[in-house]
Amino acid sequence: MNKFGGIWTFEKIKILEKYAKAYLEIMKDRPYWKLIYFDGFAGSGDIEIDGVLDEKIIHGAAKKIVSIQEPRLFDIYYFVELNKKKAESLTKSLEQVRKGGVYVVSEDCNKKLNDLAAFLKSKGKTHKALAFVDPCGMEVNWSSIECLKDLPVDLWILVPTGLGPNRMLTRTGKISDSWFSKLESFFGINRKLIISNFYTFNETIDLFGAREVQVSKNVKAVEKIKQLYTNKIKEVFKFVSDPYELENSTHCIMYHFFLASNNKTAVSIANDIIKKAKNDKYGTDFN
């Protein structure tokens, strides 16, 4: 079983489930489109979470989506989970819910996002995909998102704005080469641009003419990471929803969660769901 998260895990899955139901409602009148559900970080089936919920073990997103019966099904359910044991456990757990059309593979999501893009390209306009990309950290390379450009994909993505990238962008600006490489592959921009986005340099000269450069990290780095990533996503998708902020118990933002799509209606539906979730952050009405 996956052991992680808190209330935000529950909120995120609720948002996704609501959107998937709305998506299938629209698609029920469009049977000519084959629908793929793609989950790039599928987990093991159930999740043990900390926090304020009575339930400590909840069904993961995979089980929730596969359990949706009405108004129509996806034609293909494709789950990617790098960890072999978790993938096996997920396979067993999903078999109890649905027999046909469900695939679980134990591979890297980055590779499988590229495969998804190639598959959709090869199918012309016959297939559409709802994708859920739910990493713990910075596992998703920017190039794996970029490959979805101009494809009929609605992508829900969890961006770890308050975690890995914020920590790697150190306060002093001293960043190792390996961290810079990680930041570059995550944001899809080069080192120079990363520096100019997050740091300011002030040169001071003391009484005796000695020069000193003071480096300051942007005080709103998490917000800046969100902005930067959203702007990059807008290079790939025409529309991006408002983000839903996932916070830890001390109200620090850990992730931003949002939908990217080439369909305006899709994003307006996502915005409605997110607005409702924000209004009821710790309530029970958001069902």
Ligand X SMILES: C[S@@+](CC[C@H](N)C(=O)[O-])C[C@H]1O[C@@H](n2cnc3c(N)ncnc32)[C@H](O)[C@@H]1O
Report the Cα 239 to chain-centroid distance in Å. Answer: 15
By DSSP bridging, strand 46-48 and strand 2-3 are: parallel
Using rule CB under 6 A, residue 60 touches ligand X: yes
DSSP codes, 112-132: HHHHHHHHHHHTTTSEEEEEE
Count the neighbouring beta carbons within 10 Å of the beta carbon of residue 82. 17
Closer of 26 and 105 to ligand X (Cβ)? 105
Residue written as tokens 């300011």? 200
**Minimum CB distance to ligand X, residue 174 (Å):** 28
Closer of 51 and 173 to ligand X (Cβ)? 51
Closer of 86 and 128 to ligand X (Cβ)? 86
Q: How many CA atoms are closer than 13 Å to the CA of 74, on its beta-carbon side?
A: 29
Measured from each CB, the residue nearest to ligand X is 60
Using rule CB under 6 A, residue 47 touches ligand X: yes
Q: What's the token pair of residue 167?
A: 């920590």
Binding segment (CB under 6 A) for ligand X, from list 135-143, 199-207, 211-219, 243-251: 135-143
x/- binding map, residues 84-113, to ligand X, per CB under 6 A? --x---------------------xx----
Using rule CB under 6 A, residue 73 touches ligand X: no
**Minimum CB distance to ligand X, residue 143 (Å):** 13
Using rule CB under 6 A, residue 162 touches ligand X: no
The number of residues that bind ligand X (CB under 6 A) is 20
Q: Which residues contact 266 (CB under 8 A, 6 or more apart)?
A: 23, 154, 239, 259
How far apart CA 38 and CA 77 sit, in angstroms, is 6
How far apart CA 235 and CA 238 sit, in angstroms, is 7
Which of 20, 27, 61, 145: binder of ligand X (CB under 6 A)? 61
The residues binding ligand X (CB under 6 A) are 2, 13, 40-43, 47, 60-61, 80-83, 86, 108-109, 134-136, 139
